[in-house]
């Protein structure tokens, strides 16, 4: 019985250690977001620089020339992000599997900001400005009353009405 108890304790410790190892290998959220921004930025630049009616393959024309290595799962996730934001369209048709084209919104974003990263930075600045508009104190201007005006006001109030 004692041996069984020791084995259970060791098994639990091993499970805890394994969970900690797995947690250490998970990518940092900010790191993954920055990588996503870099890939989306590269894709939009490639599509924008070659004209608004160009179609490009995400893997062959964008990721490989820029020496960006991502898993198939991450590539699908980034594909979904770009398509769902309305920046690019998935090209449909025979021989066009895995190709993207720039939408009007994507073209406008690139012409206005120059990159997806610049767009995100500007948007973050606007959100921060809305959350922290600065300390605005109301300003009241109180003019000192002249003594002559005070006497006139008092004199008018104290005079009895004549009938």
For residue 143, give the DSSP letter.
Answer: P
The answer to whether 56 and 62 are in contact (CB under 8 A) is yes
**Residue 72, pLDDT above cutoff 70:** yes
| pLDDT for position 28 | 73
Alpha carbons 122 and 128: distance in angstroms, whole number: 10
Residue range 28-121, CATH number: 1.10.10
Structure tokens at 100: 């993207």
| pLDDT per residue as tens digits for the range 97-136 | 778 888 889 889 888 998 888 998 998 888 888 777 665 5
156: left (phi over 0), alpha (psi -120 to 50) or beta: alpha
Residue ranges per structural domain of the chain: 28-121
| pLDDT for position 10 | 72
| pLDDT per residue as tens digits for the range 8-42 | 777 777 777 777 666 655 557 788 888 888 888 98
Give 12-16 contacts, CB < 8 A, sequence gap 24+.
Answer: none
């Amino acid at each position: 019985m004692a041996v069984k108890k020791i084995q259970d304790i060791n098994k639990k410790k091993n499970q805890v250690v394994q969970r900690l190892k797995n947690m250490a290998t998970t990518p940092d959220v900010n790191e993954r977001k920055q990588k996503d921004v870099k890939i989306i930025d590269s894709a939009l630049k490639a599509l924008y620089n070659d004209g608004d009616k160009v179609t490009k393959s995400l893997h062959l024309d964008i990721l490989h020339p820029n020496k960006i290595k991502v898993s198939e799962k991450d590539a699908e996730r980034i594909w979904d992000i770009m398509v769902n934001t309305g920046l690019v369209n998935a090209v449909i048709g025979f021989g066009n599997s895995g190709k993207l084209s720039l939408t009007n919104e994507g073209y406008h974003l690139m012409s206005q900001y120059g990159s997806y990263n610049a767009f995100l930075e500007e948007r973050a600045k606007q959100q921060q400005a809305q959350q922290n508009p600065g300390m605005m104190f109301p300003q009241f201007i109180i003019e000192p009353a002249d003594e002559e005006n005070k006497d006139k006001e008092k004199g008018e109030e104290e005079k009895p009405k004549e009938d």
